[in-house]
Amino acid sequence: MSTNLKISNVTKIYPGCVANDNVSLEFNSGKIYALLGENGAGKSTLVKILSGVIIPDEGEIYLNKNNLKLNSPLDAKKNDIGMVFQHFNLFETLSVFENLIIDSDEQRESLREKIDSIMKKYNFSIDLDIPVLNLSAGQKQKVEIIRCLIRNPKVLIMDEPTSVLTEQETSELFLSLKKFSEEGILIIYITHKLKEVMQLCDEVAVMRRGKLISVSEIKNENIESLANKMVGQNLKTIKKKKAKTSSDQLIKITNLNFSSEDPFETNLIDINFSVNRGECLGIAGISGNGQSELFQVLSGEIISEKNSIEFNNNYIGDLSPQERREYLMAFSPEDRLEQAAIPQMKIFENVALNNFKSSNFFNNGLINENKIKEHSKKIISDFNVNTDNIELKSQFLSGGNLQKLIIGRELITSPDLLICFNPTWGLDVGAINYIHETLIKINEQNKSIILISTDTDELLKLSDKISVIHKGKLSKIMNAEEVTSEKLGILMGGAN
């Protein structure tokens, strides 16, 4: 039986933002649909409306001509709409089986049989009796998919499913999705990754700022045309000029180890690498393989042995982040609002935070507000931060603006080395471009970068050398020209 899903004139307004502005769309089973848009374009809001998590202000949803009233996720489930959320909706401390039985009315044994047959059919292999927190991201996603399949859904919605997957896991996922589609399940695939849309989908709907921009067949589109629709302007492509090879070593990590008391952190095992002046070293890997620990060890949040880090001919392994800054290192952590900036503090106060000593921001322990404000204004104009109010609390800046502010702040001291961790995570294409340009500029000034990132494309674009971190171990360091995303994918999955 074929399925027809129709969204009619859906509007959802939040204070200060129209998340969905009169959106109408129609889907038919047998095809895979892409819902494409930047962060904040309204695609997540739309699918949350479809799955009953959010109730729209206006508009109707019809499944096979029946008007659906989706007031809760339960209503969506009853109407055979299944959704795999971007941030997994699993209970980490419960076992896989407990996660699956919690919303099922079936008996234990019959449910187990059903799960086994689903896993066999689609070639999944997951231990049902271990807690979910022991699973990899790809396995967790499979658990979510199984949860939907148990209910024989007519519609399956996937919200940014590949953000946590390796290349291999992604292609496995695509195979499964195609199989589901052939079996008559209507698939709606939400993403901002253009390559995936071209690879997987039959039709694409583009959203921008809450509005539906276009609906078209994939065969009539290409990556550039979709990108322009998504961003609303022509994007310039950034390319890094090949760096002059320098042999002037700036930082050298020797036999660095870190073992954590916390079993849910990753231990770092025998890390060795060095970075020359003017060079960008990219560190790839699937999140949770020790990147966060490596960043903390490099930034001094975690102290290591004095001799394990040599920077500018000084041993600094036992120094704090503040002391390392005095040696002209700078840091841009992954979590902008938790680690890099204090959300409730004003922009100019945040600017002052990493410069306790080496600036004239403070006189005899008193805050020199005028100096800081002057400087903050300079950062805002130099780094294109889209606000003119330095009294604004930093939590009200968008992710892109906040990241620009943080990078700007870190570059105050004109550091020799910038260490960044997922600097463009969750940003829109415009902001990503700006950050990338800035990073390239740093290299051109003969300064160095260590770029820890889970975004393979970003790494290939910006790095001179690339290494892969897997389970706390670093692969050998490769020249960026010799590396392809496929090769990185294999290394990220743990193969040699």
Nearer to other proteins, 74 or 367 (CB): 74
* 343 lies in the binding site for other proteins (CB under 8 A): no
Q: What's the rounded Cα separation, in Å, for the pair 418 and 149?
A: 46
Q: How far is the CB of 100 from other proteins (least distance, A)?
A: 11
Interface segment toward other proteins; rule CB under 8 A; list 47-55, 181-189, 193-201, 453-461: 47-55
DSSP single-letter state for residue 338:
I
Is residue 436 within 8 Å of 468, Cβ to Cβ? no
Nearer to other proteins, 55 or 223 (CB): 55
Interface with other proteins in residues 145-174 (CB under 8 A): none
- Quickly list DSSP for 209-249: TTEEEEEEEGGG--HHHHHHHHHSSPPPPP-PPPPPP---E
Q: Where are the alpha helices (DSSP H) in 327-455?
A: 347-352, 369-382, 399-410, 429-444
Q: How far is the CB of 214 from other proteins (least distance, A)?
A: 28
Nearer to other proteins, 92 or 183 (CB): 92
Q: How far is the CB of 131 from other proteins (least distance, A)?
A: 6
Q: How many residues bind other proteins (CB under 8 A)?
A: 26
Nearer to other proteins, 92 or 270 (CB): 92
CA atoms lying within 13 Å on the CB side of residue 328:
15
Nearer to other proteins, 141 or 448 (CB): 141
Q: How far is the CB of 44 from other proteins (least distance, A)?
A: 13
Both tokens of 205, joined, read 């709907």
Nearer to other proteins, 136 or 225 (CB): 136
Burial class (CB in 10 A: 0-12, 13-18, 19+), 31: middle
The SS3 of residue 101 is helix
Interface with other proteins in residues 83-142 (CB under 8 A): 85, 88-94, 98, 101-103, 131, 133
Q: What's the rounded Cα separation, in Å, for the pair 70 and 493?
A: 40
Interface with other proteins in residues 48-77 (CB under 8 A): 51, 53-55, 72-74, 77
Q: How far is the CB of 223 from other proteins (least distance, A)?
A: 33
Nearer to other proteins, 90 or 200 (CB): 90
The SS3 of residue 63 is strand
Q: How far is the CB of 130 from other proteins (least distance, A)?
A: 10
In terms of residues, how long is the chain? 496
Nearer to other proteins, 59 or 131 (CB): 131
Q: How far is the CB of 128 from other proteins (least distance, A)?
A: 14
Burial class (CB in 10 A: 0-12, 13-18, 19+), 308: buried
Of 142, 100, 140, 152, the residue nearest 122 (C-alpha) = 142
Q: Which residue in this structure is represented by tokens 């496995």?
A: 172
CA atoms lying within 13 Å on the CB side of residue 165:
19
Contacts of 272 (CB under 8 A, 6+ apart): 253, 254, 255, 256, 474
Q: How far is the CB of 21 from other proteins (least distance, A)?
A: 18
Is residue 190 within 8 Å of 47, Cβ to Cβ? yes
Interface with other proteins in residues 218-277 (CB under 8 A): 261-264
Nearer to other proteins, 81 or 406 (CB): 81
Nearer to other proteins, 109 or 388 (CB): 109
Cβ atoms within 10 Å of 344's Cβ, excluding its own: 9
Q: Which residue in this structure is represented by tokens 């939590």?
A: 395
- CA 376 vs. chain centroid, Å, equals 28
Q: Give me the residues that bind other proteins (CB under 8 A), please.
A: 51, 53-55, 72-74, 77, 85, 88-94, 98, 101-103, 131, 133, 261-264
